[in-house]
Amino acid sequence: MNFTKKQTQKIVKACIHNDRSAQEALYKLCYADMMRVCLNYLPDEELAREAFNTGFLNVFKSIQNFDAEKGELGGWIRKIMIYSAIDLYRSELKFGNLTDTLPEQETEFIPPAVLEKLYFEDILRHIRTLPYATQTVFNLSVLDGFSHKEISEQLNISEGTSRWHLSEAKKQLRELLENTVGAGRSIERGGRK
């Protein structure tokens, strides 16, 4: 979703004036990318679609607040979608307040040799197997670049809980991915006999 500055100004101005064709064009342009964002935070497609539509209503309600000097339109919309997905999930289920703390020294996340053998889809599939709160913190931190302070404010958890979820996500993903690569090697060896 890379718009030139002129395209951004034109579509934002038209959306501010409730131009339905501009709103529809922006909606369609963003659909695939922003649905993926919602799917990263919600357990099924129906909830993701609901978050996407709610998010777009918020986009249209607040588009007059978009400032091209502070960032690009796609990033601004992405942030709204993330908040919309988290708000929807929060209304569906509640987060537990875990008090575990991080170990003093964090271990290596995933060895490069493991990553070389996996496809992006495999990694996403494994991320979706994490407990929801852990998955959400991982997505916010690793995929979307939020700080633990921002995560704690958004999810209404402590920074320590955010750190614990990130550490736990890395630990579980490391184990899942190493097992996947190990199983793949066993299959390869078995097929060569």
Task: Answer whether 0.75 is exceeded by the pTM.
Answer: no
Residue 143: its pLDDT value, please?
A: 82
pLDDT tens, residue order, the chain (193 aa) = 667 788 889 999 999 999 999 999 999 999 999 999 998 888 788 888 999 999 999 999 999 999 988 889 999 999 999 999 988 887 776 544 333 434 444 444 555 555 545 556 667 777 888 888 888 999 898 888 889 999 888 888 899 999 999 999 888 888 887 776 665 544 344 444 3
Q: Where are the domains of the chain?
A: 5-92, 112-192
So what's the pLDDT on residue 188?
42
pLDDT at 95: 46
CATH architecture observed for domain 112-192: Orthogonal Bundle (1.10)
HEC secondary structure over the chain: CCCCHHHHHHHHHHHHCCCHHHHHHHHHHHHHHHHHHHHHHCCCHHHHHHHHHHHHHHHHHHHHHCCCCCCCHHHHHHHHHHHHHHHHHHHHCCCCCCCCCCCCCCCCCCCHHHHHCCCHHHHHHHHCCCCHHHHHHHHHHHHCCCCHHHHHHHHCCCHHHHHHHHHHHHHHHHHHHHHHHHHHHHHHHHHHC
Position 73 scores a pLDDT of: 92
pLDDT at 189: 43
Q: What CATH number does domain 5-92 carry, 3.30.70.3000, 3.40.50.10540, 3.40.50.261, 1.10.1740.10? A: 1.10.1740.10
